[in-house]
Each structure stands twice: as C-alpha cells, then as structure tokens.
Amino acid sequence: MNNIGNESSHNLFISDLHLCASRPTINKVFIHFLQNTAIKAENLFILGDLFEYWAGDDDLSHETHADIIEAIKKLTDADTQVFFMHGNRDFLIGAQFSKATNIKLLPDPSEINLYGRRILLSHGDKLCTDDTRYQSFRAEVRSSAWQAEFLAHPLSARKAQIEALRLQSEQEKSHKTAEIMDVNSDAVKALLRQHEYPAIFIHGHTHRPNTHQIEVDGYQCQRIVLGDWYEQGSCLRLDANGFSHQEVNI
C-alpha cells in the first residue's frame, strides 16, 4: 500500500468502495487503510457507496459490517474525524450507524472550507440527469414514505428485494450508453451556480477518476472525480499545497 499519509496536516476523500462479504480482500484493504493511512489525517470524507448495499441499521451486527464499523470507530476514537455522505447504494445508513462509528452524516451536496478553499462535495448520482429512469427511481426510494414502508419489512425480505433490484439494475446498465451514466454538464453547471461558484467540486459515483477544468459564467472550477475500489483503491489527498491523487494497492 502506498504511504499516502504523513504527519503534516491533510484531509482524505474516498468513495465507491462497495464493501461486501463477496469481496473480502477489499474489506481488509479498507481496514488496513483506516489503521495505517487515514489515522494520520485530520479528516476522512467518504462520499457514498461505502457498502455495496445497506438494508438498514438493524444489520449492524453482520460479521462483515461489524469489522468495518469497529475499524471506523477506532479511527474516530483516535481523533480522525470521519464524514459520510450517502451514495445510491447505502442511502439507508442512519443514526444507529452514525452512533456506532461516531461519524458525522453530511447532506448531499455539502460545502466545506479547508485551507482557505471553498469546496463542494456530492456523491454525484443526482447529476446523472440523462438517465431519467434512474432519477425517477432515486426520487422514489429517497422519499421518507418509501423508506418507512421498506424498513417495516423483515431484514431478510429487504435484502432479497435489494438483490433483485441489483440484478435488474445490472441488466439495464448493459443497454445504457456511457454518456447516459455519466454526469450531465448542464446539471453540474446548475449546481455550481446554486452554490455560488465554488473553486473545487469533488464527487464520486461514475467510477471515472479524473480532474476536469470547467468554466461557469466566467468562473473557473476544478471538478475532481474520485475513483472506485474495484481493481485498486483510490484516494484523494488535500493539504495546504493542494490536491494529489493516490492509489491504494490491493
């Protein structure tokens, strides 16, 4: 694993880990990352899809979840603050998970200020507006009424429903173009206008790590896309000197 952290002040940003029991190596890499790299940072920002899916906070005791929760709690106990933003896979993470790990939940989007930089954070899925079918689904499952009804079912039934939805989603993806599944440039610009032109915008979701220079109404902005944790881990570091992309070897 690359030595990302050091003793100087810095913050780390990650997303799209998709942790699950079927990928135990990634789970171990993430725990190692928390114990040896994130522990040196002031703050760790997790911008969604930490888990492949989350069926509800009554699943905290699952063996895979318990190990990850314990590792995050040890990190926050060591004075690294962890901020979490919901992704499209784990939007049901709630107050019990937050209490168990001592993380702080962030709304999507959120603004932060680090080293004099105004930074906008998002998971990114809401910006994929060309995928109208997904946006309709997103609006439905993010409603309080849908979530209350869903969480009223037994955990086993919820997991079975999620597995069925995941299979359907994978089948639908095979018929979608790459452009449809990426963020829409007009949606990005509208968000930046809404937040009065932050200089930096960081998001995940698309699994297309890159840094884009964009101009909105005469203002310059860096749109930084975080990578996923499939073939290798991906981490963005920010310190007083700026940003650097880092790979986490698996």
Find the CATH number of the domain harbouring 210: 3.60.21.10
Domain-embedded: residue 169: yes
Per-residue pLDDT tens digits of the chain, which is 250 residues long: 344 555 579 999 999 999 999 999 999 999 999 999 999 999 999 999 999 999 999 999 999 999 999 999 999 999 999 999 999 999 999 999 999 999 999 999 999 999 999 999 999 999 999 999 999 999 999 999 999 999 999 999 999 999 998 888 888 877 788 888 899 999 999 999 999 999 999 999 999 999 999 999 999 999 999 999 998 889 999 999 999 988 887 7
Domain-embedded: residue 83: yes
Helix (H, G, I), strand (E, B) or coil at 216: strand
Domain-embedded: residue 4: no
Domain-embedded: residue 40: yes
Domain residues for the domain of 80 are 10-248
Residues 6+ apart with CB under 8 A from 191: 109, 120, 122, 127, 201
Domain-embedded: residue 134: yes
Domain-embedded: residue 3: no
Domain-embedded: residue 127: yes
Count of domains forming the chain: 1
Domain-embedded: residue 2: no
Question: Which ranges constitute the DSSP H helices of 37-154?
Answer: 63-77, 95-101, 132-141, 144-151
